[in-house]
Amino acid sequence: MTLDKRTHDRTFVRTFFTTPTAEKGVEDSAKKLRSAIELRGMQAPDVWVPDNEDATAPNMRDEGAENIAEVVAESGADFPGEIHPRVVWHRDSPETRYQGFQHMLEIADPENGAIEHIDGFVIPEVGDIDDWKKADEFITIVENEYGLEEGSIAMSVIIESGSAELAMGKLREEMGKADNNLERLFLLVDGEVDYTKDMRAITPTGGLPEWKELRHNTSRAASAAGLISVDGPYDDIRDVEGYHDRITANNAMGMLGIWSLTPGQVVEANKSPLPPATGYWLIDADGREVELESEDGVEVYSGDRIELEEEDGGYELEVGSTEIFCESEEELADELLDLVDYVPSMDDIVDSMEEFEAAKEAGKGAIAMTRAATIEIDGVQVDVSSDRMWDEATYQALMTPVKLFQDVYENRPDQHDDLADLYSEDVVERAIEVGN
């Protein structure tokens, strides 16, 4: 990233990856920074955050600020994502805020040669909107001091207090005001550990609460103010499945970005919001979603939570402990239709988009999209088929993953090969065209 391509370049951010800025007692205290800035492809995040706050020991942070400047000056030009260092800040401590200001002055000093590759700063522990404005003002001074355009340095905040959560409801009113440059706002990032402390929540095991309302409110604020929402760190880096499930749940709330603590998490978070390469069917097996296995065009359920057999000229379907007798294959198909659902591939999605666009050009406002399959349970095969009405609103709502893909494709050339491997060149080409 270079100066002319900085703030608000991305409209989607999948990954927010933090790296300690300085370590004591090692030969090169900036070693981890050097290693992170070399990441490419799926291992490289959309937003990289040299973290001069929690990830770095308090007495190493002055050195950390220098390390950021040095490493970004050296290698920032080639880094494929955006670079947003996190500095120290606290709504309750003027001392900490002044320290954060000094670190920003240090990192952005043009003499260090880093600022042209830096896209913005991340401000943690903000409070009410007036506290956000203090950080905004410091960044304005930094810009003015170094001859940068006002508003050109982005500002992201970590939401880790009840007051910051409430502040997000005021962004639309505050962002246009003459006395601030809050238009520089970029990411709203939840920080659940400190939020838990601020809310004084207690769980028996010490595990983090869900904080679903916080995530909704963050996503909503991002939507209302034209920003991007990002979920906080997922501590159990061993638990890939749990991380993936969290991303899926976040995506259903419109929160498409997540914090990553390791390059492994970055890979997972870069890929999770994109549609799969191959579509598949799901079945609701007595309250648990199970993926059907596709065998020669037949979708097979092989668990034991659902049982099916032909009996007395009809079908006996047992889901968990509920038995349903179906008199005909049609009735059985109706029952199964309530249980199954299809996860479309990127290819499927592009097909549907193209089909709807063609219909629109032919003057139709709504068309039925059909999805059919042969389902097999306990050796019995049933054909099911469902129609879904698509209108302009459906089309627009289902366009989100495609737009995300297009944003990735445009901004992350280093991931082109990975995307082509995943989807095939042909699908990639159609996906970048559709809707434009």
Give the residues across from 290 on adjacent strands: 283
Closer residue to its own copies in complex, CB, 142/431: 431
Give the residues across from 295 on adjacent strands: 298
Closer residue to its own copies in complex, CB, 313/365: 365
The candidate with the shortest Cα–Cα distance to 133, out of 199, 183, 85, is 183
**Residue 414 annotated to the active site:** no
Catalytic residue among 391, 417, 421, 426: 391
Distance of CA 75 to the CA centre of its chain: 26
Report how far residue 412's alpha carbon sits from residue 398's, in angstroms, rounded to the nearest whole number. Answer: 22
**Residue that the structure tokens 């604020």 belong to:** 221
**Binding segment toward its own copies, per CB under 8 A, in 43-51, 144-152, 245-253, 307-315:** 245-253
Query: Cβ distance 37 to 2 under 8 Å?
Result: no
- Token duo for residue 53: 């706050």
* Residues 329-388 contacting its own copies, CB under 8 A: 338, 341-344, 363-365, 388
273 binds its own copies (CB under 8 A): yes
- Residue 78 CB, nearest approach to its own copies (Å): 30
Three-state DSSP class for residue 376 = strand
- Residue 143 CB, nearest approach to its own copies (Å): 28
Name the CA dihedral angle for 263, 218, 404, 414, rounded to a multiple of 10 degrees: -30
**Binding segment toward its own copies, per CB under 8 A, in 43-51, 82-90, 376-384, 401-409:** 401-409
- Residue 313 CB, nearest approach to its own copies (Å): 24
Q: State the binding string over 25-64 for its own copies (x if CB under 8 A, else -).
A: -----------------------------x-xxxx-----
Query: Cβ distance 218 to 168 under 8 Å?
Result: yes
Q: How many CB atoms lie within 10 A of CB 431?
A: 23
Q: How many CB atoms lie within 10 A of CB 251?
A: 19
Angle (nearest 5°) at CA 397 between 393 and 400 = 150
Query: Cβ distance 378 to 2 under 8 Å?
Result: no
Query: Which of 149, 150, 355, 392 is close enough to bind its own copies by CB under 8 A?
Result: 392
- Residue 392 CB, nearest approach to its own copies (Å): 7
Q: State the binding string over 113-152 for its own copies (x if CB under 8 A, else -).
A: ---------------x------------------------
- Residue 209 CB, nearest approach to its own copies (Å): 4
How many residues interact with its own copies (rule CB under 8 A)?
A: 77
Closer residue to its own copies in complex, CB, 76/191: 191
* Residues 155-194 contacting its own copies, CB under 8 A: 161-163, 165-166, 169, 172, 193-194
